[in-house]
Amino acid sequence: MKPIKVLSTTAILGYGFPLASFEAGMRMNPDCIAVDAGSTDPGPYYLGAGVSFTDYTAVKRDLAIMIQAGIKNKVPVLVGSAGGSGAKPHLDWQLKIVYEIAKEYDLHFKMAIIEADFDKDFVLKAFEEGKVKPLHPAPECTKEDILESTHIVGQMGVEPFIKALNDGAEVIIAGRSYDPNMFAALPIIRGFDKGLALHMGKILECAAIASSPGSGSDCMMGTITDDSFILQTLNPARKCTVLSVSAHTLYEKTNPYILPGPGGIIDLHNTAFTQLDEERVEVKGSKFIPSDPYYIKLEAAKCVGFRTVSIAGVRDPIFIKETDSILEAVTKRVKDNFKNLDNYHLNFKIYGKDGVMGDLEPIKEIRSHELCIVIDAVAQSQDVANTVCSFARSTMLHYGYEGRIATAGNLAFPYSPSDFKVGAVYNFSLYHLIEVSDPIGIFKQTLVNV
């Protein structure tokens, strides 16, 4: 079979890419242009609140370049996890950008819109039938988790993308998707090995991160053949190496040999990496093993309160030495002052001590000459969060610790006002697998002429 070339533009739509890299990729005559637009990495807020974590103007810039090139060269453009989290509000946000691009550049094309939202009643019924199970380390699902979720999405497999391409879509904008889908769909249609296609997609979804030096804001080309796929960067400043590509194969995985996804796993036990030349790496041996039944990952978030934070700097070596006891005393003072408030959480993140790793930090002795303390209050209302944060901040500012010399204030505030009302706080409420019988029909798909 004739090899298929897939151009990956950037790690996440809106992260940008050098135009020179993209143009180098287009000169290689790719068979499709694809990008992953989302992730759960930024946390549950964006899914729960229905907003994008990427910038409108930045996404529009990237997508305008891609769609114009796709239409001009008659190759499909595929976008997955639209708007970052892939729920209906994110999909609509992404579609608004697409329609603006079409109008501004006078483009005409057939577009497939694939929704990833799951109805709560459908999920509840599956839950009651025992078809919803936790994805480690998530806890068991409850009825309340489902009902309290603001948006529930399913991470669709490659099948809806294959249907859209077979229906003649020139542009595909899909909700929450398995990361490799956009890159694997066309090769699978053309008869290439599914395991190789999905493994190639898993690497291409992060674009040039799998190169050396890696970058999420640069392009990558994948070429699939009968028994392998080949990766190469499109920027002379970067190279694909066996180390960079194999390392990225281990990226975001709990098992080095198994990559689970919708409807099965990619088995990497016999995968081999070969350096073809200075810039290209060939990958062989990856296999897809289907599962029975077919599982899709559910993602959802629910509002758990409201947050206020205050950021302060500390420079006094005596305060730094006594940090743990001071924070303990401040916490106790807040609790004593507001005995009637029991439904709040007060946390301190201390950068320069253990702000990144918390209790897992192996270095216990503070070696910093200064600390950044983030006072973090979460409560059931914004007013209560404001109160707790404000009182903790003022108490720490004037707390009299043993050995203190200056009494004008213990903290330095880089901003005025010192307290920031963050607003609603979300937790993931669903990170579970759901058993489905139809991996295509479960996702609403619409074909429109733009």
Q: How far is CA 368 from CA 294, 324, 364, 396, in A?
A: 52, 14, 12, 19
Does residue 338 surpass a pLDDT of 90?
A: yes
Share of the chain above pLDDT 90, in %: 94
The stretch 98-108 carries a mean pLDDT of: 98
d(CA 307, CA 293): 41
The stretch 291-319 carries a mean pLDDT of: 97
Least trusted range by pLDDT, from 134-143, 288-297, 308-317: 134-143
E-only strand ranges, 115-243: 132-134, 151-155, 171-174, 220-224, 229-233
CB neighbour class for 160 (10 Å; exposed up to 12, middle 13-18, buried from 19): buried
Q: Is-contact 288 194, C-beta < 8 A?
A: yes
d(CA 118, CA 100): 28
The stretch 78-85 carries a mean pLDDT of: 98
Q: What pLDDT, on the 0 to 100 scale, is given for residue 407?
A: 86
Q: What pLDDT, on the 0 to 100 scale, is given for residue 237?
A: 96
Does residue 342 surpass a pLDDT of 90?
A: no
d(CA 108, CA 423): 41
Does residue 253 surpass a pLDDT of 90?
A: no
Q: What pLDDT, on the 0 to 100 scale, is given for residue 265?
A: 96
Mention every residue, 6+ apart, whose C-beta is less than 8 A from residue 52. Answer: 46, 59, 83, 84, 85, 90, 93
- Per-residue burial over 205-231, b if 16 or more Cβ lie within 10 Å, else e, is bbbbbbbeebbebbbbbbbbbeebbbb
d(CA 112, CA 446): 6
What are the CB-based long-range contacts (under 8 Å, 24+) for 187-190? 187/4, 187/6, 187/224, 188/158, 188/162, 189/162, 189/165, 190/1, 190/4
Does residue 251 surpass a pLDDT of 90?
A: no
Q: What pLDDT, on the 0 to 100 scale, is given for residue 406?
A: 83
Compute how many other C-beta atoms are within 10 angstroms of the C-beta atom of residue 420. 13
Mean pLDDT across the chain: 96
To 10 degrees, the CA torsion angle through 260, 264, 265, 271? -150
pLDDT category of residue 116 using cuts at 50, 70 and 90: very high
Q: Choose between 407 and 429: higher pLDDT.
A: 429
The stretch 263-289 carries a mean pLDDT of: 97
Where would I find the H helices in 260-412? Answer: 317-321, 323-337, 382-397
User: Could you tell me the pTM of the whole model?
Assistant: 0.94
Phi, psi of 311 (to 5 degrees): -110, 130
347-398 residue pLDDT tens: 999 999 999 999 999 998 888 999 999 999 999 999 999 999 999 999 999 9
Please calculate the CA angle 183-9-227 and round it to the nearest 5 degrees. 35
Amino acid at 255: N
Q: What pLDDT, on the 0 to 100 scale, is given for residue 365?
A: 87
Mention every residue, 6+ apart, whose C-beta is less than 8 A from residue 320. Answer: 314, 366, 368, 369, 370, 371
Least trusted range by pLDDT, from 144-148, 264-268, 405-409: 405-409
Does residue 250 surpass a pLDDT of 90?
A: no
Which residue, chain included where needed, has tokens 């098992």? Answer: 255
Which residue, chain included where needed, has tokens 């242009």? Answer: 33
118-160 residue pLDDT tens: 999 999 999 999 999 999 889 999 999 999 999 999 999 999 9
The stretch 41-57 carries a mean pLDDT of: 97
d(CA 419, CA 294): 48
Query: Which candidate, 401, 378, 398, places its Cα nearest to that of 308?
Result: 378
Does residue 425 surpass a pLDDT of 90?
A: yes
Cα 77 to chain centroid distance, Å, stands at 21
Concatenated DSSP letters for 378-402? EESSHHHHHHHHHHHHHHHHT---T
Q: Choose between 269 and 249: higher pLDDT.
A: 269
Least trusted range by pLDDT, from 251-260, 369-378, 395-404, 419-428: 251-260
